[in-house]
Amino acid sequence: MLTKDKKNFIFKGVTASLGIAIGKVFAMESKINFDSVFNKVILEKQKLTYAINKTKLELNTNYEKIKLIAGKRYAQIIKTYSLILKDHVIKKNIDMLIDSGIDARSAIINIINKLDTIFITNKNSQYFKDKKSDIEEVWFNVINNLDNLKFIENNNRSFKFSKNLVIVANNLTINDIIYMREKFVIGFALDKSSKISHNMIIAQGLKIPAVVGLETISLYAKNGNNIIIDGYNGHVILNPTKSTLKMYSTKRYHQYIEINDLKKIKDLPCETLDKHKILISANISNPIEIQSSFNNNEIIEIGLYRTEYLYNRANSIPDENTHFWQYFNIINKIQHKTITIRTVNLNEDMLIDLGLIRNEYYRKKIGLTAIKLYLKYPELLENQLKGILRASAYGTIKIMFPMVTDLDDLKIIYKILNNVKLNLKKKNIKFDENIKIGVIIEVPSAVTLIDLIVKEVDFISIGTNDLIQYSLAIDREYIFYEPLHPAILRAINTIISVSHNVGLKVSLCGEMASNPSCISILLGLELDEFSVSLPQILNTKKIIRNLTFAKTKKLSKMILQCTSKTEILNIMNNSTNIKC
Amino acid sequence: MIEVNITISNKMGLHIRAASLFVQAVTKYKSIIKIIKNNFEIDGKSIISIILLGVECGCKLKFIIDGPDETEVLSTIKNLFSSKENSKI
């Protein structure tokens, strides 16, 4: 969304990677290439041939290497990639586009994006998405080789490669991002992509500020323009005025200081200025994530362990042992810290992969969510619970059930859980008999019934990502997706106060828990545990350490009186309110 | 022109590796190879076409082979899908 204030062009998008960057635009996909209007077709075809041949050469080298190390069977995948590269149907389509005057890079991207129409398949099926990513990977190598050419070209022409480049593009591949890291790139501004896209997760890992979902920025930004990426507010400012530039320079300076400060607070307790203690735990989607963080003692507990990765690309339901070994290993890795495992909640694509539903039932708007699925395929939950319970003999594990809507759901869960427990007892297998059971409140019906639900469980977690989506009927990719909505804040308030009344602790495991403008309100609503993604742990801790619990309580009281989200946003835009 | 019907008996269907073996085996021939699934026709020498066709186990495919070396192609295809060589595809 493009807005204008005084003299600045401000593009509003979504923060994908935190931080501020000030630099010059480097536009990745200039649509018009005046230099080669006359011989453009020939030039582009030459470039394409060069890039394809170079990719072939690289694949061949890789084939020999992999064959040597892993054997012929594994090297076969490279053979397949070569075949994908040689596929004449796709080449014919790319050539046709180049003939019509499009450059080679755009032609490839165009065709890859249209695979489903060229080859007529269901573009929404997981099968297609998986296969598409294989095809993409091959052609991205070609694009990469094309871009190498482009960089050389650009260097020789009017635009000089300098430091402090901010890449502006429609979208980028992971390869692009890794490659650019070497090229003095300090920020990204993209039309598309989302915070949870893989390319942006990489950007977060590299700590390069990025704002995405800007819709039209690639049309406006020209090479060499001044640009500011404000990865804290999700804004991008093109051709800023001198005063704006100055303001952001100061902000960036503070950012450097902040990063150094963050490292210092690693070992300090997580408490407010008035000594109110808060637990910050980690959300993880795959155990690989915790390897580096653990050496740094960043993680205190795992507040949300998503287990869907176990089902990814699986051809059958994972058995009890698969589950057990995963959980057992992670317990050993994190040494006696509590792990909260969320039982599996599969989307329909995964169900098709597992062979549990057939394509013709495909594309229900919501589909079979967790509990409904367990009812239909009890072994899905049984296997997982057996694995979890067996692992619970070796460390502290809590179990958390997603998408619970009412007490009937809970009855189903407890029936299966008790059966599994009984079974293990019969076999004399040890497990934690008092294992704590919790639910994620992420469906509006569960909020309404919260007073009944709290009586049946040991802890409550709020899953705001889905709760906001279902409550406000909006997908999370849209900018209208607003956590600071009176309905959401009232819901959270109800959940926390009802739970506290019966002595239950409440955690929150959505994006909200690490959102700087939400943290003070959540703290004021007396949330006990903030469960955030790994890169956000220190940042969240720092924000909490600078807040005063008593003041946040006042702020939350005031916010709960608000009648509209505009009113709430107005209060929160005043920075003194965030830093209370 | 030869037409032949084959039912895919491999558990995984014509997945990427199998499709790759198939295309590698047939590209050296001059004949045109068409694969038909549910009235939908694709080029049998295009790996992407085969992969995206989504051929599962039990799927019935019709192969149409046309060209100077069609009989050799037929025996190659039959050999690939025969039960003995099933582990191959």
CATH number at residue B73: 3.30.1340.10
> Which residue stretches of A335-474 are H helix?
348-353, 370-376, 378-391, 407-426, 444-448, 450-453, 464-472
**Residue B72 domain-assigned (yes or no):** yes
Q: Do both A41 and A107 map to the same domain?
A: yes
Q: Do both A431 and A484 map to the same domain?
A: no
**Residue B87 domain-assigned (yes or no):** no
Domain region containing B28: 2-81
Provide the pairing of β-strand A235-238 with A165-169.
unpaired
Q: Do both A381 and A496 map to the same domain?
A: no
Domain region containing A240: 2-245
List CB contacts (< 8 A) between B49 and chain A. Answer: 87, 89, 119
Q: CB-based contact (8 Å) between A344 and chain B?
A: no
Average pLDDT of each block of 10 consecutive residues along chain A (580 residues)?
Answer: 69 86 79 44 81 84 78 78 88 88 86 80 72 83 79 44 78 64 77 68 73 84 89 90 90 81 82 94 78 56 88 78 90 85 84 70 69 87 95 94 94 94 94 95 96 96 93 77 91 97 95 89 96 85 92 94 92 70
What confidence score (pLDDT) does residue A37 get? 40
Q: Which of A224, A238, A226, A239 is nearest to A157 (CA)?
A: A224
**Residue A219 domain-assigned (yes or no):** yes
Size (chain A), residues: 580
Cross-chain residue pair B52–A131, CB shorter than 8 Å = yes
Q: CB-based contact (8 Å) between B42 and chain A?
A: yes
Out of B12, B20, B42, closest to residue A80 by CB = B20
Out of B17, B43, B54, closest to residue A80 by CB = B17
List CB contacts (< 8 A) between B52 and chain A. Answer: 115, 119, 121, 128, 131
**Residue A451 domain-assigned (yes or no):** no
Specify the number of domains making up chain B: 1
Q: Do both A201 and A267 map to the same domain?
A: no
Fill in the DSSP letter of residue A404.
-
Q: Do both A231 and A265 map to the same domain?
A: no
Specify the number of domains making up chain A: 3
From B7's Cα to the closest Cα of chain A, the distance in A is 19
Whether residue A568 contacts residue A291, with contact meaning beta carbons closer than 8 Å, is answered with: no
Task: Return the CATH number at A365.
Answer: 3.20.20.60
Q: Do both A159 and A34 map to the same domain?
A: yes
Cross-chain residue pair B49–A83, CB shorter than 8 Å = no
Task: Return the CATH number at A92.
Answer: 3.50.30.10
Which amino acid, one-letter code, is at A280?
A: I
What is the chain B residue with the closest CA to A116?
B52
**Residue A495 domain-assigned (yes or no):** yes
Q: CB-based contact (8 Å) between B48 and chain A?
A: yes
**Residue B86 domain-assigned (yes or no):** no
Q: Do both A296 and A265 map to the same domain?
A: no
Q: Do both A228 and A323 map to the same domain?
A: no
How many C-beta neighbours within 10 Å does residue A363 have? 11
Q: Name residue, tokens 């720092």.
A: A542
ipTM value for the complex: 0.84
What confidence score (pLDDT) does residue B64 get? 92
Six token digits for residue A110: 């165009």
Q: Do both A231 and A267 map to the same domain?
A: no
What confidence score (pLDDT) does residue A199 get? 65
Task: Give which of A76, A119, A126, A133 to mutate to test B binding, by max B Cβ within 10 Å.
Answer: A119
Q: Which residues contact B43 (CB under 8 A, 6 or more apart)?
A: A88, A89, B33, B34, B35, B49
Q: CB-based contact (8 Å) between B17 and chain A?
A: yes
Cross-chain residue pair B46–A87, CB shorter than 8 Å = yes
Tell me the C-alpha distance between A29 and A533, whole Å.
32
Task: Give which of B40, B49, B52, B59 to mutate to test A binding, by max A Cβ within 10 Å.
Answer: B52
What is the tens place of the pLDDT at every residue in B10-69? Answer: 777 788 888 888 898 898 899 999 999 888 888 999 998 888 888 888 888 899 999 899
From B3's Cα to the closest Cα of chain A, the distance in A is 23
Out of B16, B42, B46, closest to residue A134 by CB = B16
Q: CB-based contact (8 Å) between A88 and chain B?
A: yes
What is the chain B residue with the closest CA to A138?
B48
**Residue B58 domain-assigned (yes or no):** yes
